[in-house]
Structure 1
């Protein structure tokens, strides 16, 4: 495994990924994060690719951090939240920028947690934190393995507080999840992780 500083993105990045039931879960996590969080935050929620999304506006009302919809080539910055737009997969590049690629009409899940987490892993290493929230299916399993392989950390929402527990449960079956947490304790865990990886 490479040392932390072998990875090009020089600050912590938190990826919040979710599917069914995810709007409320995302809003509650973001609402509890401090305005001076020294990490970039990326959000991927499975959405209908053919409908405009109100997600950035909904999350902006809840969060103390500024929230924007991600755009292609968008520069990630600590203390800012970027939300994946519908109809796109979000990639993290070595220049700490966002790459968006069209999802097309067929699976995988849209946007893909696996693609986001895999590119986050190889650009951030131990500075990457993946948070797997409520959802159906198993999107994120491969991405969780990639995060762990590159030295990052994985948190998963517990079954009791998940509206749809199959997505975080699928992450847990990899054996790579460090903490399984109730929804309202996840923000504290994010703050502690980020404080140790500046």
Structure 2
């Protein structure tokens, strides 16, 4: 009996709840596949996603559990602060390093499904910002799996679908309203026999291991990742190394960053640094003014003039910094439109 595609892995971020509701509402009750869902979420608390999707779905929807079986005709959602993975034919919840600042991360799920079930996997990228899911979708296709991407014009946030299509131009494209029909059709197609079997690259296999277990001392992890990137990890300040053949980076403890996510995080770091510098300048001005007043009260004109000069210098610097921050905010608002 031929194999069929029976593991559907779905990734979403900003605007993804709406897309997921539309997707699960269109899935038939007799879907011959397991559906695993990662939605970017805060690391603390609990996720309301299962209850939200349960109201729309004809399939049972549950939070994923460590070691839980992949039951067909069921939907499982990632839980906060854990990667959702497929390992040895069951679900696995991992505290592996974050990827692009996320745990759970879409790439981690996709990559694990590619390694675990190969051509039986279907990867689905929905609405979201940046590019989580792109590298994982590449892994699924490399192993003979199918790729499906929400039409960017149909997504509230098109960046994730657009980035996925840039790297996987052969992916099927559909609006949310027809995604369920396309998925159902894909699950009923026999999987072509692969000879020789399609394989993931060595770096992809290492990344799959890191998501599951974290980097272990003595592993080939960093020595086989490629050369230094010249960048530091926003999570731990460690050196980032390039991932061969991709625009991705890993640090020694395993944090992963795509080029787009790293650029956004560096923007955030710069903004924090600018506001810290502005606050420090304002505090310096306030302190210098107090010292100037104290010097005047004591009749020490020379010291008062020195503090007045310090106030003027700091005020000029603060004014320049405020103008830079204001211009940067306006530029970002124009880019987001």
TM more than 0.5: yes
- Quick check: 2:99–2:105 contact (8 Å CA) kept in 1? no
Task: String of CA shifts for 1:70-120, please: whole Å, max 9, x gaps.
Answer: 0111111111111000111011012x2111112667843231111100110
Select 2:86's aligned residue among 79, 88, 92: 92
Select 2:187's aligned residue among 187, 191, 194: 194
1:118 alignment partner in structure 2: 111
**CA 1:99–1:121: 2 relative to 1, 3 Å:** same
1:47 alignment partner in structure 2: 41
1:72 alignment partner in structure 2: 66
Whole-angstrom distance in 1 between the partners of 2:59 and 2:172 = 24
- Quick check: 1:148–1:176 contact (8 Å CA) kept in 2? no
Following superposition, the deviation at residue 176 of structure 1 comes to 4.6
Task: String of CA shifts for 1:33-90, please: whole Å, max 9, x gaps.
Answer: 0001000000100001113211001111110000000011111111111100011101
Whole-angstrom distance in 2 between the partners of 1:156 and 1:121 = 17
Whole-angstrom distance in 2 between the partners of 1:197 and 1:116 = 23
Larger radius of gyration: 2
1:17 alignment partner in structure 2: 11
**CA 1:85–1:138: 2 relative to 1, 3 Å:** same
Task: String of CA shifts for 1:138-172, please: whole Å, max 9, x gaps.
Answer: 00111011001100010111121100000111100
2:29 alignment partner in structure 1: 35
Deviates more, 1:102-111 or 1:42-51: 102-111
Select 1:56's aligned residue among 40, 50, 53: 50
Whole-angstrom distance in 2 between the partners of 1:105 and 1:29 = 27
- Normalised to the residue count of structure 2, the TM-score between the two structures is 0.54
Q: Secondary structure at the match of 2:9?
A: strand
**CA 1:145–1:36: 2 relative to 1, 3 Å:** same
Q: Secondary structure at the match of 1:62?
A: coil
- Aligned-CA RMSD value: 1.8
Whole-angstrom distance in 2 between the partners of 1:90 and 1:110 = 9
Gaps of 5+ in 1: none
- Normalised to the residue count of structure 1, the TM-score between the two structures is 0.90
Following superposition, the deviation at residue 122 of structure 1 comes to 1.3
RCO higher in structure (CA 8 A, sep ≥6): 1
Gaps of 5+ in 2: 192-337
Q: Secondary structure at the match of 1:53?
A: coil
**CA 1:108–1:196: 2 relative to 1, 3 Å:** same
Following superposition, the deviation at residue 11 of structure 1 comes to 6.0
